[in-house]
Amino acid sequence: MTRPHLLLLLADQMRPDALAQAATPHLDALAARGVRFDNAYCASPLCQPSRACIVTGRYPTQHGVHGNMNEPIASQERLDTYPSQLQRAGYYTAMIGKHHYYDRWAVGMDVLEDDGDLQGYGYDHVWQVDDDHLNNQDRYTRFLQDIGKLSLFQEMARKRAWDAGALRPDEFDDGYIGETAVRFIEAYQDEAPLYLQVGFLGPHPPYWAPGDYATMYDPAKMQPPLAVDNPERIARTGRARAQYLGRVSLIDHYVGRLCAALEAKGMLEDTLILFTADHGDLIGDYGLYDKRHFYQPSVCVPLLMAGPGIALNPRLGGRICRELVSGVDLYPTLLHAAGCQDRLGAQPREGLSLLDIANDAGPRRAALYSELGTMMMVRDANWKLVYDAEQGGVQYLFNLRRDPQELDNLAGVAGYESVEKRYVETLLTWQVRLTHHTQEKERERLQRVRT
């Protein structure tokens, strides 16, 4: 059997309900010929830790990346990334756009000019773009300089006064990344199967969209934020959400362009495509913005999969899977699709193949976990508990069956003590399992959390 090409499309800070609120015809088409996972979670609700979870198939307790200012993943982990395993199996591996496996401040600005460091993660071809266009020089800022728009763009960024007409959609950062990825596919001639990872910068803040995408959505018609009743805050959130959805639609446009490029090359039917994000975005829900929280809009992500290896009923088309799935599942999924055996190394992985889950051919999760610093989350079919050692223990307990919007926090409420105890014990058992093969410094960190 011919091994499939693999395409991973990774948005930045995209909440799953954006797919229902924005015009996304190309992502809808992807779901219609594949699987949409409606209970997909990031393994850590912050950029760098989550992306480290994806590329290593391990949790922060295992790989050691707990924040955005962390140094790069340890070298032994880099050697065990899934791009490295695909590379050893004969795939040509390419990365275009944002990666955020390390922070620019932790490793030095000059690394943005050096693709060799990323090639150490297992990529044959690298075309990285950073998201700080004010302080850094990278390919995108040089592109803006070449077209005479860098000074204009940076002035708007400093003043946070966006002119939607200043850049065409194909000159905007995600347009630039999308166009670069399309050209890469058009030029691909290698006989080796291709793994291509495209990292978009949006819809991460600032909430700006270019051209017609900036006016595609009416701020007054946006879904109001959860647990907020202040009219001024609701209006401000509406303006942010309208721009956010505009960026989602821009990304969708390039999903269509990439699929069209694959089809023109005769590669589409032989390509397994995965679309997801590193984490979500609260955008005003509960009076909060950004990520770093375990509320559903922050910790949940969109996840679509289409292509070879998925058993579908031709009459019914795409399917919806409601099993609990995680960012750590991308690693075993890509190796499964490629027919690779996982080199487990010193630390076993807990991820499951999404192909097995989609085809009802493998194990299921009874519980799902996510962590960030001293905070840990566990959820199952009924309950979600969030535990923070720095804040004194259980912070949130939600009955997701009765309260899917997480408006009624039952932590510390009389009558729920046994529920709290059960899920805290589940969390600690999970952490003990993870740290059995973990480096000494991580075991020491966890011991401090427990005490």
Contact by Cβ (8 Å): 424, 438: no
Paired sense of beta strands 5-12 and 194-203, if any = parallel
Q: Which domain holds residue 161?
A: 5-358
Instruction: Point out which residues pair with 304 in neighbouring strands.
Output: 36, 275
Give 146-194 pLDDT, tens digit per residue: 999 998 888 888 877 778 888 999 999 999 999 999 999 999 998 999 9
Residues 271 and 151 in one domain: yes
SS3 per residue for 345-357: CCCCCCCCCHHHH
Which is it for the CA torsion 28, 34, 39, 44, positive or negative?
A: negative
How many other C-beta atoms lie within 10 A of the C-beta of residue 345? Answer: 14
Mean pLDDT of the chain: 89
Residues 266 and 408 in one domain: no
Contact by Cβ (8 Å): 101, 121: yes
> Looking at 25-39, 126-140, 318-332, 348-362, which range is the least confident one?
126-140
Virtual CA dihedral for 189, 342, 102, 90, nearest 10 degrees? -20
Pick from 156, 126, 128: nearest CA to 142: 128
The count of structural domains within the chain is: 2
pLDDT at 112: 44
The C-alpha atoms of residue 169 and residue 171 are separated, in whole angstroms, by: 5
Report yes or no on 367 lying in a domain: no
Tokens describing residue 361:
């051919």
pLDDT at 434: 85
The C-alpha atoms of residue 24 and residue 229 are separated, in whole angstroms, by: 29
Edge-to-edge strand list for the sheet holding 375-379: 368-372, 375-379, 383-388, 393-399
How many other C-beta atoms lie within 10 A of the C-beta of residue 126? Answer: 18
Does residue 111 have a pLDDT over 50?
no
Q: Which residue has the higher pLDDT, 268 or 67?
A: 268
pLDDT at 110: 42
Report yes or no on 164 lying in a domain: yes
Does residue 106 have a pLDDT over 80?
no
Domain boundary among 316, 334, 358: 358
Report yes or no on 364 lying in a domain: no
> Looking at 61-75, 334-348, 410-424, which range is the least confident one?
61-75
pTM of the model: 0.92
What is the rounded average pLDDT of the residues 258-276? 98
Report yes or no on 387 lying in a domain: yes
The C-alpha atoms of residue 140 and residue 146 are separated, in whole angstroms, by: 10
Residues 172 and 270 in one domain: yes
Q: How much of the chain is in helix, strand and coil states, percent to nearest 5?
A: 40, 15, 45
The C-alpha atoms of residue 20 and residue 223 are separated, in whole angstroms, by: 11
Q: How confident is the model at residue 105 (pLDDT cuts 50, 70, 90)?
A: very low
Contact by Cβ (8 Å): 135, 167: no
Residues 345 and 398 in one domain: no
Residues 121 and 190 in one domain: yes
Residues 216 and 117 in one domain: yes
The number of C-alpha atoms within 13 Å of 422 and in the hemisphere containing its C-beta is 11
Give 359-413 pLDDT, tens digit per residue: 988 889 999 999 999 999 999 999 999 999 888 899 999 999 999 999 999 999 9
Report yes or no on 124 lying in a domain: yes
Q: How confident is the model at residue 121 (pLDDT cuts 50, 70, 90)?
A: confident
What is the rounded average pLDDT of the residues 409-429? 96
The C-alpha atoms of residue 238 and residue 218 are separated, in whole angstroms, by: 8
The C-alpha atoms of residue 61 and residue 438 are separated, in whole angstroms, by: 8
What is the rounded average pLDDT of the residues 332-342? 92
Q: What is the DSSP string of 148-208?
A: T-HHHHHHHHHHT---TTSS-TTTSHHHHHHHHHHHHHHH---SS-EEEEEEEEEESSS--
Residues 303 and 407 in one domain: no
pLDDT at 108: 42
How many other C-beta atoms lie within 10 A of the C-beta of residue 276? Answer: 23
Pick from 127, 123, 126: nearest CA to 86: 123
pLDDT at 109: 42
Tokens describing residue 359:
């085809």
Does residue 113 have a pLDDT over 50?
no
Edge-to-edge strand list for the sheet holding 125-128: 125-128, 92-97, 194-203, 5-12, 271-277, 303-306, 34-37, 319-321
Report yes or no on 369 lying in a domain: no
Residues 84 and 17 in one domain: yes
For residue 108, what is the domain's CATH number? 3.40.720.10
Domain boundary among 358, 386, 403: 358
Residues 441 and 321 in one domain: no
Domain boundary among 328, 358, 388: 358
Give 57-75 pLDDT, tens digit per residue: 999 988 888 877 655 565 5
pLDDT at 448: 56
Report yes or no on 10 lying in a domain: yes
Residues 292 and 397 in one domain: no
Does residue 272 have a pLDDT over 50?
yes
The DSSP code for 410 is -
How many other C-beta atoms lie within 10 A of the C-beta of residue 54? Answer: 28
- Tell me the percentage of the chain whose pLDDT exceeds 90: 70
Give 229-259 pLDDT, tens digit per residue: 999 999 999 999 999 999 999 999 999 999 9
Report yes or no on 62 lying in a domain: yes
What is the rounded average pLDDT of the residues 33-47? 97
The C-alpha atoms of residue 127 and residue 118 are separated, in whole angstroms, by: 10
Residues 194 and 58 in one domain: yes
Residues 345 and 425 in one domain: no
For residue 441, what is the domain's CATH number? 3.30.1120.10
What is the rounded average pLDDT of the residues 446-450? 54
The C-alpha atoms of residue 318 and residue 158 are separated, in whole angstroms, by: 44
- Residue 78 has phi, psi (to 5 degrees) of -60, -40
Which is it for the CA torsion 132, 198, 23, 253, positive or negative?
A: positive
pLDDT at 311: 82
How many other C-beta atoms lie within 10 A of the C-beta of residue 306? Answer: 23
The C-alpha atoms of residue 165 and residue 115 are separated, in whole angstroms, by: 32
Q: Which residue has the higher pLDDT, 275 or 438?
A: 275
Return the residue matching tokens 């942010």.
240
The C-alpha atoms of residue 437 and residue 64 are separated, in whole angstroms, by: 13
